[in-house]
Chain A
């Protein structure tokens, strides 16, 4: 009788220790998951920030300025454009 009791006490103790261990592990993993999710959110917002940054570097205002000043480009006019299409307007040829 005592032997069985002893065995059961040991088993209970072992299970309790195991439970503590598992609980600890689960909390540790949860913290890690949490951190990873936070990182994901941070990266996502960073991505959006960069996206907007990219946009503001490519606004028509800036493109126009760079094209004009740095690259010495000029505005396209119909005069220097060849229009290709199925319906070639007859008046286009001089």
Chain B
């Protein structure tokens, strides 16, 4: 007989309950406890990390501390590029239940077509869409005041370029993610970029930080980059170049100004240019930094190197007579001509009137290897060591492959190519006592160390010839300035059209002028290049020299250089002044 549980002593109330039922209850309860225990162990021991993290996510936040991108400054510390905060508007399409009037209002404030706003808000699957990045602070404030649901803002940084198009090619620009895309912004991206910091906080129900947890990683601000550019020089160099390109109906133009003592680039501008802040519809022509990335046959601007070598090697003296009549010379079947026949010229005059025949006759006395070495030493065919993306080396073929006609044409600047920047830098040979110096875009006050190409004496002699060339009777008298002695060489090179240089009446030109001032102790070297002037004038001395003159005049004034030639004072005496 099975046992039963007695609930009462009264036999009347006795019921027969089997013991297994109570055991079942106890077992069920025990099982429940074991289940709970196991769950507790699962949460607190086995999968502890997961639950800890899930808990933390609900109250603690890692805040990013943004680092400012460094500024780009000019040599005097003026801002060329700086980041300013700018609000960007974003939305959660699912939450943004706006009626038509609200959408219209939003579209108007964002300066966007209504259809575009509707399109962006239509995609309900997305939990994040940008409506517009970099909105004007004023507009952003108005949008915030509207308080539309599902529309949010965050602060991003936007690059501003106060100098605008004048310095666009040097400074470059960044993309919307604040990464450098062109110019100095690209090259020094890693220096300019800071490292964002972070910190961990606990937030309350209202989203306010109430407590900090752990260590703060401080943001590291990006470093500033100081360039050798002088904003004032840069601006008026650009201005004069722009006017010249427009007036001469040229395709494009470039100008480079460098400090003859330190090799610092004071200005480097190209036209056409662009505004780095408004880059819609940019064309490749606007974007090209022609002074550094485009190479051309330099033409007559090369002659001083050929003559310099002849002087240096003692083959000629400045007064040696070279007979250039009848204005043409025959080299292995090909004829080299002068624009006008000049008759007998001294070596000085060969440079002054820019005689191709004279230069060729001098060049043919020299071995090709010496010429190649001189050109190469002056930086031709070599990539200039300058801090800039996309710098090109130009072209100078090895002398072993030169035929006599090629040696002849090379002597007056054909059959080899160089960028304007290379040209200007190569002229440091003449300004810096025969030594070529390194050009730099970064500020550097120390005199540069040069590599000798010519002796100081040869350099001085060539400078005198350059002065003659830029004076009366030379090819570039329009390079003259009031108060400062200048010297320089104009060049008018035929542009290659297909395989040749075009025929008469159908030629395209490239006009150059490269020179220095003051001529005895040069402080600056300025190079100007205009591409395809089509307004009638095309000689370098007519088109490029005036830009050189104005730029030299203003740059030396800004640098505080005293005039070295006499000027007629136009200062009105005191007594007269009172009648003003």
Name A residues whose Cβ lies closer than 8 Å to a Cβ of B: 26-27, 30-31, 34, 45, 48-49, 51-52, 55-56, 59-61, 64, 75-80, 82-83, 85, 89, 91-92, 94
- Asked whether B235 is an interface residue with its Cβ less than 8 Å from the other chain, the reply is yes
Given A27-B211, A52-B82; A79-B163 close (CB under 8 Å): no
**Residue B231 contacts which of A52, A59, A83 (CB distance < 8 angstroms)?**
A59
- CB-based contact A30/B209 at 8 Å: yes
- CB-based contact B162/A83 at 8 Å: no
Which residue of chain B has its CB nearest to the CB of A90? B566
- Which B residues between 556 and 579 are near A, CB-CB below 8 angstroms? 557, 562-571
- CB-based contact B204/A79 at 8 Å: no
Which residue of chain B has its CB nearest to the CB of A27? B210
A83 contact set on B, CB distance < 8 A: 562-563
Given A45-B85, A61-B235; A82-B212 close (CB under 8 Å): no
Given A56-B162, A80-B569, A91-B566; A48-B82 close (CB under 8 Å): yes
**Residue B210 contacts which of A30, A51, A78 (CB distance < 8 angstroms)?**
A30
- CB-based contact B562/A77 at 8 Å: no
Give the complex CA separation of A61 and B162 in angstroms.
10
**Residue A51 contacts which of B82, B554, B566, B567 (CB distance < 8 angstroms)?**
B82
Q: How large is the interface on B (under 10, 10 to 19, 20 to 34, 35 or more residues)?
A: 35 or more
- CB-based contact B562/A80 at 8 Å: no
Given A34-B209, A60-B232, A89-B564; A78-B483 close (CB under 8 Å): yes
- CB-based contact B208/A52 at 8 Å: no
A-B CB proximity, top 6 nearest:
A78-B483, A60-B235, A56-B162, A27-B210, A91-B566, A49-B84
- Asked whether B194 is an interface residue with its Cβ less than 8 Å from the other chain, the reply is no
B219 to chain A, nearest CB (A): 11
A25 to chain B, nearest CB (A): 11
- CB-based contact A78/B231 at 8 Å: no
Residues of A contacting B: mostly? helix
**B84, B232, B553 — most chain A CB neighbours (10 Å):** B84
Given A52-B160, A60-B235; A79-B84 close (CB under 8 Å): no
B216 to chain A, nearest CB (A): 11
- CB-based contact A78/B567 at 8 Å: yes
- CB-based contact B564/A94 at 8 Å: no
B283 to chain A, nearest CB (A): 22
- CB-based contact A59/B162 at 8 Å: yes
Given A60-B236, A80-B570; A55-B563 close (CB under 8 Å): no
Which residue of chain B has its CB nearest to the CB of A29? B210
Give the complex CA separation of A91 and B239 in angstroms.
32
A60 to chain B, nearest CB (A): 4
Instruction: Kindly list 10 other residue pairs between chains A and B, CB separation below 8 angstroms, not including A56-B162, A79-B482.
Output: A31-B209, A34-B208, A48-B83, A49-B85, A59-B163, A60-B235, A77-B482, A79-B571, A91-B566, A94-B569
- CB-based contact B563/A89 at 8 Å: yes
- Asked whether B456 is an interface residue with its Cβ less than 8 Å from the other chain, the reply is no
B237 to chain A, nearest CB (A): 11
**Residue A79 contacts which of B201, B554, B567 (CB distance < 8 angstroms)?**
B567
- Asked whether B245 is an interface residue with its Cβ less than 8 Å from the other chain, the reply is no
B79 contact set on A, CB distance < 8 A: 51-52, 55
- CB-based contact B85/A31 at 8 Å: no
For this complex, 28 residue pairs linking A to B, each with C-beta atoms less than 8 Å apart, are A30-B209, A30-B212, A31-B208, A34-B201, A48-B68, A48-B83, A48-B84, A49-B84, A52-B82, A55-B79, A59-B162, A59-B164, A59-B166, A59-B231, A77-B482, A77-B483, A77-B553, A78-B484, A78-B557, A78-B563, A79-B482, A82-B569, A83-B563, A85-B562, A89-B562, A89-B563, A94-B566, A94-B568
- CB-based contact A59/B235 at 8 Å: yes
